[in-house]
Amino acid sequence: MKKTVTRLADGRELIYYDTRDGTPRTAADPRPLAPVASRSEIRLDELTGDHVAVASHRQTRTHLPPADACPLCPARPGHESEIPGDGYEVAVFENRFPALSGGTGRCEVVCFTDDHTASFADLTEERARLVLDAWTDRTADLSALPGVEQVYCFENRGREIGVTLPHAHGQVYALPYTTPRTALTLRRLDEHRRATGRNLFDDVVARERADGARMVLETDDWAAFVPYAARWPYEVHLHPLRRVPDLTALDGAARTALPQVYLELLRRFDRIFGPAEPPTPYIAAWHQAPVADARREEFGLHLELFTVRRASGKLKFLAGTESGMGAFMNDVRPEDAARRIREVAEA
> What is the length of the chain?
347
- Known binding residue 111? Answer is no
The predicted structure's pLDDT at residue 58: 86
Residues 227 and 171 reside in one and the same domain: no
- CB neighbourhood size of 337 (10 A): 25
Q: How far, in whole angstroms, is CA 46 from its chain's centroid?
A: 28
Phi, psi dihedrals of residue 345, rounded to the nearest 5°: -60, 150
Counting residues of the chain whose pLDDT is more than 70, the rounded percentage is 100
Q: Give the global pTM.
A: 0.96
Using DSSP's 3-state secondary structure scheme, residue 89 falls into coil
Digit-coded pLDDT (tens) for 293-336:
999 999 999 999 999 999 999 999 999 999 999 999 999 999 99
User: How many domains are contained in the chain?
Assistant: 2
- Known binding residue 73? Answer is yes
Residue 347 pLDDT greater than 60, yes or no: no
Digit-coded pLDDT (tens) for 242-251:
999 999 999 9
Residues 133 and 86 reside in one and the same domain: yes
Digit-coded pLDDT (tens) for 173-201:
999 999 999 999 999 999 999 999 999 99
Residues 66 and 135 reside in one and the same domain: yes
Residue 57 pLDDT greater than 90, yes or no: no
Which residue, 175, 210, 239, sits at the end of a domain?
175
- Known binding residue 167? Answer is yes
- Known binding residue 70? Answer is yes
The predicted structure's pLDDT at residue 227: 98
Digit-coded pLDDT (tens) for 122-134:
999 999 999 999 9
DSSP letters, 262-291, are: HHHHHHHHHHTT-TTSPPPPEEEEEE---S
The predicted structure's pLDDT at residue 36: 81
Residue 112 pLDDT greater than 60, yes or no: yes
Residues 108 and 213 reside in one and the same domain: no
Residues 279 and 188 reside in one and the same domain: yes
Residues 93 and 68 reside in one and the same domain: yes
Which residue, 155, 175, 195, sits at the end of a domain?
175
Q: Where is pLDDT greater, at 336 or 56?
A: 336
Residues 209 and 125 reside in one and the same domain: no
Write out the residue range of the structural domain in which residue 102 sits: 2-175
Residue numbers annotated as active site: 169
Residues 88 and 199 reside in one and the same domain: no
The predicted structure's pLDDT at residue 99: 92
Give the whole-angstrom CA distance, residue 88 versus residue 111: 9
Residues 286 and 137 reside in one and the same domain: no
The predicted structure's pLDDT at residue 174: 97
Give the whole-angstrom CA distance, residue 328 versus residue 102: 35
Q: Domain with 311 in it: what CATH number?
A: 3.30.428.10
Digit-coded pLDDT (tens) for 60-108:
787 788 888 999 999 988 888 999 988 999 999 999 999 998 778 999 9
Task: Give the confidence band of 266 by pLDDT, cuts at 50, 70, 90.
Answer: very high
Give the whole-angstrom CA distance, residue 317 versus residue 275: 23
3 to 30, 96, 134: CA distances (angstroms): 22, 21, 9
Residue 346 pLDDT greater than 80, yes or no: no
Using DSSP's 3-state secondary structure scheme, residue 86 falls into coil
Give the whole-angstrom CA distance, residue 250 versus residue 258: 10
Residues 188 and 171 reside in one and the same domain: no
Which residue, 148, 175, 202, sits at the end of a domain?
175
Digit-coded pLDDT (tens) for 142-157:
999 999 999 999 999 9
Average pLDDT of the chain to the nearest whole number: 95
Residues 16 and 84 reside in one and the same domain: yes
> What is residue 60's DSSP assignment?
G
Residues 148 and 36 reside in one and the same domain: yes
